[in-house]
Amino acid sequence: MQAETTPERIELQKAALYNHTYFVDVASTGTTSHRRRFRTRIRTTTGGTSSPGTYECHKCRKIYKWYRGLHRHLEYECGKTPRFKCPHCVYIGKHRSHVYSHIKSNHFNRPVYAIDIQQD
């Protein structure tokens, strides 16, 4: 069973990793530059927040737990027409993976690929 991920637990894990990088770096090289790089990396990768569930689409107000979900929504879904077409029938989907799943479940022993009908 996996431990529950809470903001408090994430902060504890960050603190443990921060201390680990400090002690390893100082013991081996006598410098703290590794610690500064780690602090910068944490700031840039978390986007200033480590709490999931805070990414909201400014167009339709849909909320996502992770930034990558919002990015995918803005890129392929929000206000967009379906972009990927099944080469074997009239099915059209907003995501290439949805067309792949459609082909695998409906067109047995046929090539699995999608046609991008909005090529830039």
Segments making up each domain of the chain, as ranges? 53-79, 84-116
Whole-number Å distance between alpha carbons of 25 and 17: 12
Say whether pTM exceeds 0.85: no
Contacts of 19 (CB under 8 A, 6+ apart): none
Q: What's the token pair of residue 21? A: 């990088």
Tens of pLDDT along the chain (120 residues)?
Answer: 556 677 777 777 776 766 665 555 445 555 555 555 555 554 444 444 445 668 899 999 999 988 889 999 998 899 999 999 999 999 999 999 999 999 999 999 999 999 999 875
